[in-house]
C-alpha cells in the first residue's frame, strides 16, 4: 500500500526586494494623489464658501450647490424650494445631494483602486510589496461600507437628473427665452460627462445584464448590457473627465458670479 506524503505548507515567495520592477512605477501614485488632493481641497472650500454659486441673469447654478435647499440660498437658485430656514456654517447648502454624490464617488470601483494605491499604498503598484503587515480587505468597518456602492448608484441617478434640469435652465437668456452662452455649453459638457461616468459604472453593467443565465432569452437586456459594457471600458477616463468638468463648471460660475467677467453669449 502506497503511503502519501504530506504536502508542504504553502507560503509566500520570500523576496527581499520591494519589487523587481525597473520602471518608475511610483510616478503614477504620486500623480493620482496630487490630482485627487487638489480636487478635494478645491471642492471642500467651494461647498462651504456660501456665495458666488448662482448667476441669475443666465440661470447658471454650480453643481456643487444643486439643489440649494437652505433658506439662505439666494433667490432663484432653489430648484426644489427651500426646505429649512437656515443651516449652520459647517453644513453645505446642497447637503441633500452631496452625501449621495460623495458616497457614489468614494465607493466607486475605480476610485477605490486609485486612492487605495495613491494614499494607503495597498499596494502602491502591481508587483510591488505593500508596507502593511495585515490586510482585511473590505470585510471590516469602515471599508465594509464600500459594499453599498450599488445603492449609492441608485441615489446618484436622481442627482444626475437634477443636474440635467439645471443645464436646461442654463439655456435661457436674460429675457427668459432660449439662449446660448459659453457657460451653458460648459454646463452641458459637464452633465454629459456625469451621465457617461454614471452609466459606465460597474453596478450599472451588473444591473442590466447580471445574473442572467441565457442572454438569448433576454435580447433587450443583452443589447443594453453590451452597450453599457462598451462604456465600461472607458470608466476610468469618464471618472477623471467628470471630475475635471465639475471643477471647470464651478470655477466658471464662480468667476461670473463674482463679476470677474461677463458670459460670452452666442445667442440671446
Report the pLDDT value the prediction gives residue 103, as an integer from 0 to 100. 95
Indicate the DSSP class of residue 121.
-
Please report which confidence band the pLDDT of residue 238 belongs to, taking 50, 70 and 90 as the band edges. Answer: very high
pTM of this structure = 0.88
Quick: pLDDT tens for 134-151: 777 788 888 888 999 999
Model confidence at 243: pLDDT above 90: yes
In sequence order, the β-bridge partners of residue 61 are 54
Rounded mean pLDDT of 52-70? 95
**Percent of the chain surpassing pLDDT 70:** 94
Report the pLDDT value the prediction gives residue 172, as an integer from 0 to 100. 94
Q: Provide the b/e sequence for 76-86 (b: ≥16 CB within 10 Å).
A: ebbbeebeeee
Model confidence at 12: pLDDT above 80: no
Report the pLDDT value the prediction gives residue 212, as an integer from 0 to 100. 82
Quick: pLDDT tens for 86-99: 878 888 999 889 99
Q: How many CB atoms lie within 10 A of CB 87?
A: 17
What is the Cα–Cα distance from 11 to 148, expressed in whole angstroms? 34
Residue 25 has φ and ψ, to the nearest 5°, of -65, -20
> What's the gap between Cα 205 and its chain centre?
17
Report the pLDDT value the prediction gives residue 197, as an integer from 0 to 100. 98
Rounded mean pLDDT of 56-72? 94
What is the Cα–Cα distance from 215 to 222, expressed in whole angstroms? 6
Long-range contacts of 50-57 (CB under 8 A, 24+ apart): 50/89, 50/93, 51/257, 52/253, 52/254, 52/257, 52/258, 53/77, 53/93, 53/250, 53/253, 53/254, 53/257, 54/253, 54/257, 55/183, 55/253, 55/256, 55/257, 55/263, 57/174
Report the pLDDT value the prediction gives residue 211, as an integer from 0 to 100. 81
The residues spanned by each domain of the chain are 26-267
Cβ proximity of 210 and 223 under 8 Å: no
Report the pLDDT value the prediction gives residue 125, as an integer from 0 to 100. 87
Rounded mean pLDDT of 209-223? 87
Strands (DSSP E) along the chain, which ranges?
A: 54-55, 60-61, 180-181, 265-267
The least confident of 18-22, 130-134, 191-195 is: 130-134
Model confidence at 16: pLDDT above 80: no
Q: How many CB atoms lie within 10 A of CB 63?
A: 24
Report the pLDDT value the prediction gives residue 122, as an integer from 0 to 100. 85
Quick: pLDDT tens for 104-128: 999 999 999 999 999 988 888 888 8
Rounded mean pLDDT of 172-189? 95
Please report which confidence band the pLDDT of residue 11 belongs to, taking 50, 70 and 90 as the band edges. Answer: low
Rounded mean pLDDT of 196-203? 96
Radius of gyration of the chain, Cα coordinates, nearest whole angstrom: 23
Is-cis flag, bond preceding 123, omega within 30? yes
Mean pLDDT of the chain: 90
DSSP-assigned letters across all residues of 16-85: -SS----S-THHHHHHHHHHHHHHHHHHHHHHTT-SS-EETTTTEE-GGG-S--BTTSPTT--TT---BS
**Percent of the chain surpassing pLDDT 90:** 66
Report the pLDDT value the prediction gives residue 55, as an integer from 0 to 100. 97
Residue carrying the nine cell digits 465594509: 144
Model confidence at 179: pLDDT above 90: yes
Report the pLDDT value the prediction gives residue 8, as an integer from 0 to 100. 61
Amino acid at each position: 500500500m502506497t503511503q502519501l506524503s504530506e504536502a508542504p505548507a504553502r507560503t509566500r515567495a520570500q523576496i527581499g526586494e520591494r519589487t523587481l520592477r525597473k520602471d518608475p512605477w511610483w510616478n503614477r501614485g504620486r500623480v493620482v494623489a496630487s490630482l485627487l488632493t487638489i480636487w478635494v481641497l478645491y471642492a471642500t472650500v467651494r461647498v462651504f464658501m456660501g456665495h458666488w454659486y448662482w448667476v441669475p441673469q443666465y440661470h447658471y447654478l454650480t453643481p456643487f450647490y444643486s439643489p440649494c435647499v437652505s433658506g439662505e440660498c439666494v433667490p432663484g437658485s432653489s430648484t426644489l424650494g427651500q426646505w429649512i430656514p437656515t443651516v449652520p456654517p459647517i453644513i453645505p447648502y446642497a447637503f441633500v445631494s452631496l452625501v449621495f454624490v460623495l458616497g457614489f464617488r468614494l465607493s466607486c470601483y475605480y476610485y477605490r483602486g486609485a486612492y487605495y494605491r495613491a494614499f494607503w499604498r495597498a499596494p502602491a503598484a502591481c508587483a510591488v510589496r505593500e508596507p502593511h503587515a495585515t490586510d482585511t480587505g473590505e470585510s471590516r468597518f469602515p471599508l465594509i461600507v464600500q459594499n453599498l456602492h450599488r445603492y449609492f448608484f441608485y441615489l446618484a441617478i436622481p442627482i444626475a437628473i437634477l443636474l440635467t434640469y439645471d443645464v436646461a435652465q442654463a439655456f435661457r437668456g436674460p429675457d427668459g427665452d432660449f439662449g446660448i452662452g459659453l457657460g451653458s455649453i460648459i454646463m452641458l459638457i459637464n452633465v454629459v460627462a456625469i451621465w457617461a461616468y454614471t452609466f459606465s459604472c460597474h453596478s450599472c453593467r451588473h444591473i442590466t445584464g447580471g445574473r442572467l443565465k441565457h442572454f438569448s432569452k433576454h435580447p433587450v437586456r443583452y443589447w443594453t448590457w453590451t452597450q453599457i459594457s462598451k462604456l465600461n471600458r472607458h470608466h476610468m477616463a469618464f471618472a477623471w473627465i467628470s471630475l475635471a468638468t465639475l471643477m471647470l463648471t464651478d470655477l466658471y460660475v464662480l468667476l461670473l458670479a463674482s463679476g470677474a467677467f461677463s458670459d460670452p453669449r452666442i445667442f440671446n
